[in-house]
Amino acid sequence: MNYIHVLLIAFPISFLLNIFVIWYIVRLMRELLEITSSLEELYLEIQSFSKHIEKVYNLEMFYGDETLQNLLLHARALTEEFTRYDYLFSLVDNEGELREDERAIPTQETPPQEAE
């Protein structure tokens, strides 16, 4: 078998493999955009819920209620946890496409934990 025969076999295989890889990357990017959008919606819902609980807690009838206060603290903690992942939400602009300046996920340094 000479060099031309090897190229005639390898080129179509390589071409098909490249087409498959491109298709797979596009599929993964669509899934990433969908997940990011869903997480952003969830974050906004939790933030809205937290504000609503705070309004109810500040009503004269419920002010000082421990159960409501604990629920408010839990909602705030959950909202703060979601803000730790804010860089994921910023990967997508309003049109649902990846922003050019944020193709790579930045590394976040975690602050040192205080001993309790």
Tens of each residue's pLDDT in the chain, 116 residues: 688 888 889 999 999 999 999 999 999 999 988 888 888 888 888 888 888 888 877 777 777 778 878 888 888 888 888 777 776 666 655 555 545 544 444 444 444 444 43
Query: How far is it, in rounded angstroms, from Cα 30 to Cα 71?
Result: 36
**Which string of b and e fits 77-100 if b means at least 16 CB within 10 Å?**
eebeebeeeeebbebbeeeeeeee
Check residue 84 and give its pLDDT: 78
Residue 24, token pair as written in the block: 């797979």
